[in-house]
Amino acid sequence: MDVLEKLRILTDAAKYDVACTSSGVDRGEPAKGGIGNAAACGICHSFSADGRCISLLKVLMTNACVYDCKFCVNRRSHDTPRAAFTPRELAELTINFYKRNYIEGLFLSSGILKSPDYTCERMIEALRILREEYRFNGYIHAKAIPGADAGLVTQLGMLADRMSVNIELPSQTSLSLLAPDKSKEAILRPMGLITGKIEESTTELARYRHAPKFAPAGQSTQMIVGATPDTDYQILNLTEGLYKKYKLKRVFFSAYMPVAEDPLLPALTTKPPLLREHRLYQADWLLRYYGFRASELLDEAHQSFHPLIDPKCGWAVNHMEEFPVEVNRAPYETLLRVPGIGVKSARRIVKARRTGSLDFAGLKKIGVVLKRAQYFITCSGKMMEGLRVNQDAVLRSLISEHCRELAYEPEQLSLFGESKVLPEDITKCLTGQI
Amino acid sequence: MLDGTNLIYRYDGSMEGLLCCIFESYEKKEMPCGISPQDEAQGTLFREKEITTDRKKAERVWTAIPKKISREAAELIRLCFLSCVSEKELLLLKFVRLGFHYGAKVTSMLTNDTVDGVLRAVKALQNESHQYKEFVRFSDYDGALVAVIRPKNQVLPLIAGHFCSRLKWESFMIYDKTHHIALVYREGKKEIVPVEELIVPEAGEEEQKYRKLWKMFYETIAIEGRDNPRCRMTHMPKRYWEFLTEFEEELVRDRAKNVMEDPTRNALPAR
């Protein structure tokens, strides 16, 4: 089998992995004769037809696998062509793509060939060739193989910038149902190991500048959304827990794409819950950059996000007692909670108001989305001129055009043919007067 | 109010030249209504004034800026000059005047039109520079890497450091087709030189192989069920596609389609 065909098979098998970021670490100039660096902000190099960024050469070492996870294209029982890169083939491919500025580095995952240890060893060999022989100084994201020896996982982490273990499904029940060979413990054990190693390495770095670094760009994970009945509430709580307990850099969500027929799985004709995935990412951002807690966004009584308005607007309409906020005085943290004000515009407001008081025209220039923010702010004690606060208008302005499309396309089930949704219905939905 | 509403400055198009215009404006206590490079020949009803470039005058203005305004302002001026915003010279003159008046706080006056104009221009330049870190595609011609780009702003000075560090032990060249300049890096030395035209050689076998592999990867990595052309277009606008390896064939197809759909084609007499 030639490299072209191998690349096709092993890319096709890897494409459902979500993470493709190359962020989190600055790597300086390459050693003599080497190649590559890395920027902490991350660099995408292309965007595929599905709009997702391509930053890394995302492939599997092999798509042969001893496991039989029902949601996975590479499961043992799936009749599909199998291939495997040799470590050297993979290293050459990476270097040649990198040199041409096609990619920022390598994302290496693998099916389990023979045993977790054997698989891990082959991955280590590929990375060793890259780092030692080619003196490759670009970004490497490696998947830790659950069940592999701790020593091997450590070796892998010494060669990689970021490591990840897929949590796959958001609960133990879902796992035992769909991935009978994997248990929550088997997944969390390597995750904990990596967290420990990263901490160890940072304390050592503080002591010795040249101490070897273990996964300096941190750890991430991903889970599948929509294959099982787990709710947004459960998923978001789990996410928050992972950030806190395992100090993860990112948690990725992947809308379930039906890849197999199984009575335990959604039907093959089910569309991926893209909107739900989008809402979870929005909430994830609120956790990481906006100082929200998961419990503020969802609770026992409200277990899923609203399809029409984003989580931040949702929180704001339910907490009108916190508004309006005076933009000329409110602290940064409070500004961040206003719909229509993001991290950048909040920072600009704080900077600009030092030189003089801000009015609505000024806010617009700064980049605040007044269409949303107008209902929640005052400038020097005044609301926007001519603003009439009626609930219908507020809600309509909070629903973006884009969302309206999304909301009706992939998500809504239609049992009785095409149904027209009137603005009144939307209001009813939002205010809970159904 | 300063005099000179019907006056236009002509300068040599260099940063130093512009600094001399600023000097002139202060010395003569006049405010021109336009500043344009000499080679941009435009008939005008306004009075024109040639500003000759004088290193000493430029130096004086350039050292006064960080001292009397701030280093941040000096950096903004340097960057804004590389941007493609229309009438950037006049914008910068206004900005400098504002800076000398208000001092360091000028860069926080985000609601001022002039400051906003400068910041926007710089942001556009920086965004485009970042996108060219992403979308530059090199071809390997016997060990020399060559890429062609067509940016709106002058991005080469901003991306030079990134590529020189990344490809420290290689030789490469990035040709800017808009401004006819090229970044050339060889044996650890970089320079930006004027290049009128660049004819790239035919790709060798090895190069063809990797292009093919890359296209295969690009096409395979997309998930059909999530097709989202609009999202792709937002992140990677079509003006970048021209030199992207992954779209080589797509563009050829597009061109062929255009020929087919060209109405004048049918108008040709049948042979």
3-class secondary structure per residue, B163-217: HHHHCCCCEEEEEECCCCEEEEEECCEEEEEECCCCCCCCCCHHHHHHHHHHHHH
Instruction: Name the amino acid, one letter, at A105.
Output: G
- Considering only CB atoms, which chain B residues are within 8 Å of A109? none
Nearest-neighbour CA in chain B from A407: distance (Å): 15
Under DSSP, the state recorded for A240 is: H
CB atoms within 10 A of CB B88: 19
Q: Work out the burial of residue B192: count CB atoms within 10 Å of its CB; fewer than 13 is exposed, 13-18 middle, 19 or more buried.
A: middle
Looking at the structure, tell me whether residues A211 and A64 fall in a common domain: yes
On whether the CB atoms of residues B114 and B95 are closer than 8 A, the answer is: yes
Residue B263 has a pLDDT of: 45
- Please say which residue of A193, A223, A253 terminates a domain: A223
Longest dimension (CA), chain A: 72
Please report whether residue A298 resides in a domain: no
Chain B residue with minimum CA distance to A354: B108
**Is A362's CB within 8 Å of B136's CB?**
no
- Please say which residue of A223, A238, A260 terminates a domain: A223
**Is B147's CB within 8 Å of A354's CB?**
no
| CA B161, chain centre distance (Å) | 16
**Is B221's CB within 8 Å of A43's CB?**
no
For each of chain A's 434 residues, which pLDDT tens digit applies?
899 999 999 999 999 888 888 888 889 899 998 999 999 999 999 999 999 999 999 999 999 999 988 888 899 999 999 999 999 999 999 999 999 999 999 999 999 999 999 999 999 999 999 999 999 999 999 999 988 999 999 999 999 999 999 888 888 888 888 888 888 888 888 999 999 999 998 888 777 777 778 999 999 999 999 989 999 999 999 999 999 999 999 999 999 988 888 888 888 888 889 999 999 999 999 999 999 999 999 999 889 998 888 999 999 988 989 999 999 999 999 999 999 999 999 999 999 999 999 999 999 999 999 989 999 999 999 988 877 776 677 777 777 666 555 545 444 455 554 444 444 554 444 444 43
Looking at the structure, tell me whether residues A202 and A59 fall in a common domain: yes
Nearest-neighbour CA in chain B from A333: distance (Å): 20
What CATH number has the domain bearing residue A20?
3.20.20
| CA A397, chain centre distance (Å) | 27
Alpha-carbon distances of B222 from A11, A17, A64, A406, rounded to whole Å: 10, 11, 21, 20
Under DSSP, the state recorded for A134 is: S
Please report whether residue A269 resides in a domain: no
Please report whether residue A111 resides in a domain: yes
Option in A30, A45, A356 nearest B168 (CB): A30
Domain that holds residue A422: 311-431
pLDDT per residue as tens digits for the range B226-242: 899 999 999 999 999 99
Please report whether residue A91 resides in a domain: yes
- Considering only CB atoms, which chain A residues are within 8 Å of B246? 46
Question: In the predicted model, what is the mean pLDDT of residues B71-76?
Answer: 97
**Is A358's CB within 8 Å of B236's CB?**
no
Domain count within chain A: 2
**Is A354's CB within 8 Å of B166's CB?**
no
Question: In the predicted model, what is the mean pLDDT of residues B28-56?
Answer: 87
Alpha-carbon distances of A182 from A32, A85, A112, A167, rounded to whole Å: 44, 25, 12, 10
Chain A residue with minimum CA distance to B133: A43
Looking at the structure, tell me whether residues A318 and A189 fall in a common domain: no
List CB contacts of B218: < 8 A, sequence separation 6 or more: A46, A48, A54, B246
Looking at the structure, tell me whether residues A10 and A133 fall in a common domain: yes
Option in B116, B130, B138 nearest A100 (CB): B138
- Considering only CB atoms, which chain A residues are within 8 Å of B212? 4
Residue A432 has a pLDDT of: 44
What's the full length of chain A, in residues?
434
Looking at the structure, tell me whether residues A195 and A59 fall in a common domain: yes
Please report whether residue A274 resides in a domain: no
pLDDT at B271 over 50: no
Looking at the structure, tell me whether residues A53 and A182 fall in a common domain: yes
**Is A100's CB within 8 Å of B145's CB?**
yes
d(CA A285, CA A291): 9
Under DSSP, the state recorded for A131 is: I
| CA A371, chain centre distance (Å) | 28
- Please say which residue of A202, A223, A244 terminates a domain: A223
d(CA A258, CA A246): 30
On whether the CB atoms of residues B254 and B244 are closer than 8 A, the answer is: no
d(CA A388, CA A300): 34
Please report whether residue A125 resides in a domain: yes
- Per-residue pLDDT band at B270 (split at 50, 70, 90): very low
d(CA A235, CA A346): 29
Please report whether residue A350 resides in a domain: yes
Looking at the structure, tell me whether residues A23 and A127 fall in a common domain: yes
Nearest-neighbour CA in chain A from B93: distance (Å): 21
Q: Where are the beta strands (DSSP E) in A214-312?
A: 219-225, 250-255
**Is B210's CB within 8 Å of A50's CB?**
no
Alpha-carbon distances of A420 from A33, A333, A405, A426, rounded to whole Å: 65, 40, 13, 11
Q: For residue A162, how many C-alpha atoms fall within 13 Å in the half-sphere facing its CB?
A: 32
- Per-residue pLDDT band at B256 (split at 50, 70, 90): low
Would you give the end-to-end CA distance of chain B in angstroms? Answer: 72
Please report whether residue A286 resides in a domain: no
pLDDT above 90 covers a percentage of chain B that reads 80
Residue B220 has a pLDDT of: 95
CB burial of A40-74 (b: ≥16 within 10 Å; e: otherwise) equals eebbbbbbbbbbbbbbbbbbbbbbbbebebbbbbb
**Is B235's CB within 8 Å of A47's CB?**
yes
- Per-residue pLDDT band at B253 (split at 50, 70, 90): low
Looking at the structure, tell me whether residues A214 and A316 fall in a common domain: no
Q: Which of A80, A100, A345, A350 to mutate to test the interface with B (most CBs of B within 10 A)?
A: A100
Option in B108, B167, B210 nearest A35 (CB): B167
Phi and psi, residue A72, nearest 5°: -105, 135
On whether the CB atoms of residues B123 and A366 are closer than 8 A, the answer is: no
Q: Work out the burial of residue A280: count CB atoms within 10 Å of its CB; fewer than 13 is exposed, 13-18 middle, 19 or more buried.
A: buried
Q: What is the CA radius of gyration of chain B?
A: 23
Nearest-neighbour CA in chain B from A30: distance (Å): 7
Residue B2 has a pLDDT of: 62
